[in-house]
Chain A
Amino acid sequence: MLRKVIKHEFLNTWLQYAVLFGAAIFLPALVYLATQNVIERDQNTFRILVAVLGGSAVIIVTLAWTTLGFEKDFTTKNAYLYHTLPVKMSTFMISKTLFFIIWSALSILFTLLCACFSVMDFSVFPRIFDYIAHNLQETDTVGEFVMGGVWVLRIILAFITLYGLNMAGYAFGHLFGKHNRLGEFIFIISIIILYLFYSYILQGFTNTLGLRSNAIVFYVDFAVGVIVTIAFCIFAHHVFTKKLNIL
């Protein structure tokens, strides 16, 4: 069933992202060509403006679409359809999270491309690839801690945690009935405050114990990330299966 859900999610969303990502390349390129004959100072202003606005728009719109898509499908407009399909809630959650990672990663890539097309300079890419390769092979970016490819896992985990927070936020809001927005707001704000405390404590440990402890701190942070993500997902799953109230 997961394959079918993934296929449907892709068919349902690919076109809007194709248009968004296409615009992220096309518009800067167009502005670049249109400002060829403008004086250099104005030329740079235009191009930087397009790069900043275009890049921000791609990331913000992708975040909005992916997060609001969950709400639309499971708590509002399409809830009657999706909650009556013979599909487990966990399957839907996996599919939504997967596409959140894919579309978010592509939005970052296209934000970079937007910036590159604004000035028609693509030299940043080799440097990024070098940086990634360097970090994957070694090394020693934090004290004596050899991270290798673990940081890639940490980034993926961060994406999953973020979407887990989104799903858990909607789930918490769902418990508030008509005041769902208030519930979502309370949940998200509470988590942000807790995260700030947590970061502060983590930073304190790093500073107190010295650089040699970075590996331990990293893995503790990783483990906390995994636990929190699982907790978000279990909570969202519980609400959308055991406390569901589609009015």
Chain B
Amino acid sequence: MAILEAVKLSKAYGKKKYALEGINLNIESGKIIGLCGPNGSGKTTLIKLAAGLLTPTGGELTIDGKAIGPETKAIVSYLPDKTFVPENMKVFAIIDFFKEFYADFDINASHEMLKRLDIDGSETFKTLSKGTQEKVQLVLIMSRKAKLYLLDEPIGGVDPAARDYILSTIISNYNADSSVIISTHLISDIENTLDEVIFIKYGKLFLHSTSDEIRENHGMSVDAYFREVFRC
């Protein structure tokens, strides 16, 4: 069964402004998928629809065969492109909060990741630097044994050294039953980790293919192909 399935999925802001239009998508388990497209193409909208933060204007979206709701939220681990943690909470308190609400949360894994990233869990979230806040958020998301990870620009605000650790964390924490959808502009940094790539252009699905197929059919890297497709 597909972990995520979209049928004629549309989302409009206002009466005519379609952010997504007629998206048909089928994502299988056990894959790392890059969701690529220029600014305003609809990447974040698609991820937010799957996370349950937006409701579709038309079409259907299911996760693990279920309509979006509390059941799907229990198996989806979503990292937004902005801060979502209450700023007055201490890091350990946030971890306890996640442990309480998500049955798949692995508290040992979260402590291990905090230790490796040299983050003091007793600090209040708002006192951390922006980069460290992003790392804490990623720790929270990747400490879950979710079926689907939705990562919206997970490496945008961190230093290159931390990027490697974050990518290795993503790869090592997901398993054969789960899929990871990563939205990013930094394709070259994650290209080697991607099994499949989705290109979205003006709210429509432009391409859904494996990374190998792009390299074989177009004779160039995913990053180079992206630059060619979306050249201004």
Contacts and interface: CB of A to CB of B under 8 A. Distances in A.
Contacts of A84: 51-53, 73, 76, 78, 84
A81 interface: yes
B116 interface: no
Interface stretch (A133-141, A186-194, A199-207, A239-247): A239-247
Contacts of B71: 86
Interface in A25-56: none
B101 A80 contact: no
Interface in B21-56: 48, 51-55
A215 B59 CA distance: 52
Given A86-B101, A87-B70, A87-B101, A246 B84 contact: no
A85 B55 contact: no
A79 B70 contact: no
Contacts of B154: none
B73 A246 contact: no
B85 interface: yes
B70 A244 contact: no
B5 to A, nearest CB: 20
A144 to B, nearest CB: 50
B101 A245 contact: no
B100 interface: yes
Interface string A225-247: 00000000000000001111111
Interface string A75-95: 001111101111110000000
A212 interface: no
Contacts of A77: 86
Nearest to B150: A84
A16 B34 CA distance: 44
Nearest to A86: B74
Nearest to B78: A84
Given A81-B85, A85-B101, A243 B55 contact: yes
B53 A244 contact: yes
B101 A4 contact: yes
A77 B82 CA distance: 10
Interface in B80-126: 80, 82, 84-86, 97, 100-102
Contact of B100 (A4, A83, A177, A241): A4
Given A4-B100, A79-B53, A88 B86 contact: no
Contacts of B80: 80
Interface in A50-83: 77-81, 83
Interface string B55-68: 10000000000000
A80 B70 contact: no
**Which of A4, A80, A243, A245 has the most C-beta atoms of chain B within 10 angstroms of its own C-beta?**
A80
A244 B55 contact: yes
Contacts of A88: 70
A8 B78 CA distance: 21
A4 B13 CA distance: 34
B53 A83 contact: yes
A78 B78 contact: no
B53 A81 contact: no
A80 B140 CA distance: 14
B71 to A, nearest CB: 7
Interface centre among B13, B70, B73 (most CB of A within 10 A): B70
Contacts of B13: 177, 245, 247
A85 B101 CA distance: 7
Contacts of B84: 78, 80-81, 84
28 contacts: A4-B101, A7-B100, A12-B86, A77-B86, A80-B53, A80-B82, A80-B84, A81-B85, A84-B51, A84-B52, A84-B53, A84-B76, A84-B78, A84-B84, A86-B70, A86-B73, A86-B74, A86-B102, A87-B73, A88-B70, A241-B69, A244-B52, A244-B54, A244-B55, A245-B13, A245-B54, A246-B48, A246-B54
Interface of B: 13-14, 48, 51-55, 69-71, 73-74, 76, 78, 80, 82, 84-86, 97, 100-102
Across the A-B interface, the 3 shortest Cβ-Cβ residue pairs: A80-B84, A86-B74, A246-B53
Interface of A: 4, 7-8, 12, 77-81, 83-88, 177, 241-247
Given A7-B100, A12-B86, A244-B55, 9 more contacts: A78-B84, A79-B53, A80-B82, A84-B76, A86-B73, A86-B101, A87-B70, A242-B55, A243-B55
